[in-house]
Amino acid sequence: MDAQEAKKLSFNLITLDPDENCPASLVTENITGKFNDLEKLSILNEKSDVISYELEHIDIEAVKKIIPPEKIFPSIKVLEIIQDKYKQKLFFKEKGIPLPFFKEVKDISDLKENIPVVQKARSGGYDGKGVVVLKTEEDLKKAIKVPSYIEELVDIEKELAVMVVRDKKRNTVVYPVVEMVFNPEGHLLDYLITPADMDEKVYKEAQNVAVSAVEALDGIGVFGVELFLDKMGRILLNEVAPRPHNSGHYTIEACETSQFEQHIRVLADLPLGSSRQIVPALTMNIIGEPDSFGKPVYEGLNDIMAVDGVNVHIYGKKLVKPFRKMGHITIVDFDRKRLLEKANFIKKVFKVKGNRSY
């Protein structure tokens, strides 16, 4: 999606990915190789004027050996803070950003003494992986056996996200607050709706906390900032992703400037675009069915594409697996009730299955 925006300005994107058929290869020159392959990183560096990343799980030391620090955005310093989520928490606590209570896990007693609690892996987690909720001692058998930390089980009113963009001159734009609802099975985003339905003062506070977090990092780029609104009215930072983010996909259809165009503008040192939202939107993940495996089969595609305001983005992944993210759908409509009705229709008729049993 970055590359699609880059093409509008006649920029070329080169990607480094272990999969020669990765989705980006449809529109980029792809260098096939592991993210820590020094030879392939050197080729990427030689061919590129500026470099960014769209996932956090990369080998920082390998990148440091090859890519000059002034060439990569967000900076490697930002990635070093973000990559270890416990260190990320410590950093934001020192900067005065509001957070849930958290504590490093040293042994099983740290879990047992703090039940109910959420255990999170310090690194490697994404899309709900590396997170377990421990409500009783019986749940301790589900505890993850990797370096981790615990976080208070927040009494959540709403889960929120805000996209923040900051350029090399430290100009900042902030997008509307989105409200997220998660799939209880795969712990992936089920859908998000924007603008979030909430008190204006709390809405502004959520945007302010998001901007403050990015400014604390001195971040340059596009940042997805996830937040909690608890039942006491507190806005608490959950985590920050230093890249275009699932919670900003709606910006393609619903805002004057998409998060992906903003990313290209930052990298090319062009003025930031407007983040104004033109129409309310709801975004849903396209995920594989629980028993799906093989070549993806998209059932009901014709039915949903016949509905006004439905925009389907299929990423081109060659293999579907249970709960694997295969794309997203954004619905736009000026009536919030109709957004939800259309989303419910899509859930009923649209399925991603595989051509062989799992």
pLDDT tens digits for 71-117?
999 999 999 999 999 999 999 999 999 999 999 998 888 899 999 99
Please determine, for residue 177, whether its predicted confidence score (pLDDT) is greater than 70. yes
DSSP-based three-state secondary structure for 278: coil
Please determine, for residue 183, whether its predicted confidence score (pLDDT) is greater than 70. no
pLDDT, position 185: 60
pLDDT, position 129: 73
As a whole number of angstroms, the distance between CA 19 and CA 26 comes to 12
**Would you place residue 188 in the very low, low, confident or very high pLDDT band (cuts 50, 70, 90)?**
low
pLDDT, position 187: 59
Phi, psi for 129 (deg, rounded to 5): -75, 145
**Would you place residue 123 in the very low, low, confident or very high pLDDT band (cuts 50, 70, 90)?**
confident
- Kindly report which listed range (14-18, 42-46, 178-182, 209-213) carries the lowest average pLDDT score: 178-182
User: Can you tell me the mean pLDDT for 247-266?
Assistant: 98
**Would you place residue 320 in the very low, low, confident or very high pLDDT band (cuts 50, 70, 90)?**
very high
User: Can you tell me the mean pLDDT for 233-242?
Assistant: 97
Cα angle 171, 71, 32; round to 5: 120
Helices (H), the chain: 2-8, 38-47, 60-66, 76-83, 85-94, 108-114, 200-217, 251-254, 259-267, 301-305, 336-349
Cα angle 260, 278, 177; round to 5: 70
Please determine, for residue 208, whether its predicted confidence score (pLDDT) is greater than 70. yes
CA distance readout (Å), 312 to 48, 59, 230, 327, 330: 31, 33, 33, 8, 7
**Would you place residue 266 in the very low, low, confident or very high pLDDT band (cuts 50, 70, 90)?**
very high
pLDDT, position 127: 59
Please name each of the domains of the chain with its CATH number. Answer: 2-72 (3.40.50.20), 101-152 (3.30.1490.20), 156-357 (3.30.470.20)
299 neighbors 353 (Cβ within 8 angstroms): yes
Between 248 and 189, name the one with better pLDDT.
248
pLDDT, position 125: 65
pLDDT, position 126: 64
Percentage of the chain exceeding pLDDT 90: 90
pLDDT, position 108: 84
* Beta partners for residue 227, in sequence order: 160, 237
Q: What is the mean pLDDT of the chain?
A: 94
User: Can you tell me the mean pLDDT for 295-322?
Assistant: 96
pLDDT, position 162: 98
Please determine, for residue 57, whether its predicted confidence score (pLDDT) is greater than 90. no
